[in-house]
Chains A and B, each alone.
Chain A
Amino acid sequence: MEFDEFSAMNTVVQVAAEGNPIDLQLGFAQVRQFIAECEGQFSRFLPSSELTQLNQSAGRWFQASPEMFEIIQEALDLYILTDGLFDPSIMNSLIQAGYDQSMDKLRRMASVPIIPGFAYKRIPLEEILLDAERHAIHLPVGMQIDLGGIAKGWVAAKAANLLSRYTHATTVSVGGDMVFVGVPASQTTWRVSLEDPRDEQCMLAVLHVGAGSLATSTITRRRWMQGNQPRHHIIDPRTGAPAEINWLSISVYTEKATYAEAFAKALLIAGPTGAAGLATRLPNLNFIAVRQDGSLVGTPASKELIYVPGDKQ
C-alpha cells in the first residue's frame, strides 16, 4: 500500500492506493494538482476563486463552470432531502460567528471580535435559479454560499476516480470526507480508525468498510473563541447560530461522498431526537455518533461497520 499525505483546502488530505509504486506516484502527483486546482475554485477565502465570484454575483446570472454547477445542483437536492438542515447558504452566519478567515489563521488567534447588529434572515435555498443549458446560476440578493464540506466530498470522490486509473484499490480522504474504491487485494474491506473527537491521539473503534464513502463531522476540530464565547462551524440554518450539538461527532457511511458529507452535518444538527428518522431518508445510510462520554451509538446496521478483532473480515 502506498500513502501520500499533504495539506490542502485548509485540511489534511490522505491518499492510499495499492499497485505499482511508480504508477501510483504519477497518480498521487495528479491528485495533488487536481486538489490544488479545486481549492482555487471552491475556496471562499480566495478573492479570485470561482466561489467568491459567484457570491459577488448575487442578484444576477453567473456563468459557472460545469464543476461548480454540479456541486450547487447537488447542494439543492441535499437541502430538500435533509429538510433544509443541510444548507450551504449559511456563509453570512459563519462570518457573524467569526469564521471569516481560514481555520489556520483563526486557530492562531486567542479570540475574534463580536460583530454587532447582525439580524439573521434565512433566504430559502430554493430561490437559487439554475439554467442547466448555460450552466448559469442566479443567487438571490443577500445570499452567500459556503461550499466547505460538500466541496471536500466532491473533490475526494473525483480524486479517487482519478486514481482508479492506476489502481484497483484506492482511498482518498479530504478532511473528514473519505472515498473508497475497490478493496485491498489481501482483504475484503478497508480498515479505518475512528478517531476520538476528544483526543485525536485516541481511537474509539476500527471500522471496516467496502467501496463507498465515509464522512465524519465534528464540533471539536473547528473551534474558536468569539469574545468569551466558544464557537464551532456547524451552523443551524434554522437559527443562523452555531448549533446546539449533543453529540461530539458523527460518521456517515453511504455510497456517495457528497451525500455522506451533507447527512453528517444534518444528522449532527438533528441530534439524538431527529437523527434516526432523518437517516431513513437515504437508503443504505448508516451512521455512528460519538456521545459526550465517548460511547458510541448508531443505526442498528452500523454495528456491522465495527471491526471485531478475530473476525475474518
Chain B
Amino acid sequence: MQKITKSIIHVWVSLASMAAFMFGWAIFAHTEKPAPLIVQQPPSMQLEVPSLEPIPSIDELVQSSSQSMQIFQKPASSLPRLRARGS
C-alpha cells in the first residue's frame, strides 16, 4: 500500500513539475520581447575618421604663383627664423 502511495506521489510530482514548466514556458514565449541591448550612438556622437590629404609644399607653391617666386627666390635667410625642427 505504502509502495503504491509513493509511486502515485512520484508520478504526481513529475506531472506537476512538467505542467508548471510548460505553463512557464508558454507564458514567457508569449510575452513581449525586451529591446536588444545595442545602444545606437546619436549621429553627432559618431566620429568620422578623416582621410589624410596631400598638402602643397614650397616647391608647389612656387610653381603655382609668380608672386611666390619673388618671395622664395630670396635667400633662405629671408624665411622665418623660427623653425619647426624635430628632436
Contact = CB atoms under 8 A, between A and B. Distances in A.
Given A218-B87, A308-B65, A309-B61, A297 B52 contact: yes
A11 B82 CA distance: 15
A276 B86 contact: no
Contacts, number: 133
Interface in A292-313: 294-300, 302-303, 306, 308-310
B57 A178 contact: no
Of the four ranges (under 10, 10 to 19, 20 to 34, 35 or more), the interface on chain B belongs to: 20 to 34
Given A203-B76, A306-B55, A178 B61 contact: no
Nearest to B66: A310
Contacts of B50: 276, 279-280, 299-300
Contacts of A205: 55-58, 61
B80 interface: yes
B84 interface: yes
Given A203-B76, A280-B48, 15 more contacts: A14-B82, A178-B84, A192-B83, A193-B81, A214-B84, A216-B87, A251-B84, A272-B52, A279-B50, A296-B55, A296-B56, A296-B57, A298-B55, A309-B72, A310-B65
Given A276-B49, A296-B56, A309-B65, A217 B80 contact: no
Contacts of A186: none
Interface in B30-61: 47-58, 61
B3 interface: no
B82 A178 contact: yes
B7 interface: no
Interface of B: 47-58, 61, 65, 67-68, 70-72, 76, 79-87
The DSSP consensus for interface residues of chain B is loop
A201 B51 CA distance: 31
A150 interface: no
Interface of A: 3, 11-12, 14, 16, 149, 152, 171, 173, 175-178, 190-195, 197, 200-201, 203-207, 214, 216-218, 220-222, 249, 251, 272, 275-277, 279-280, 288-289, 294-300, 302-303, 306, 308-310
The DSSP consensus for interface residues of chain A is strand
- Pick the most buried of A192, A218, A251, A288: most chain B CB atoms within 10 A of its CB: A192
A176 B53 CA distance: 23
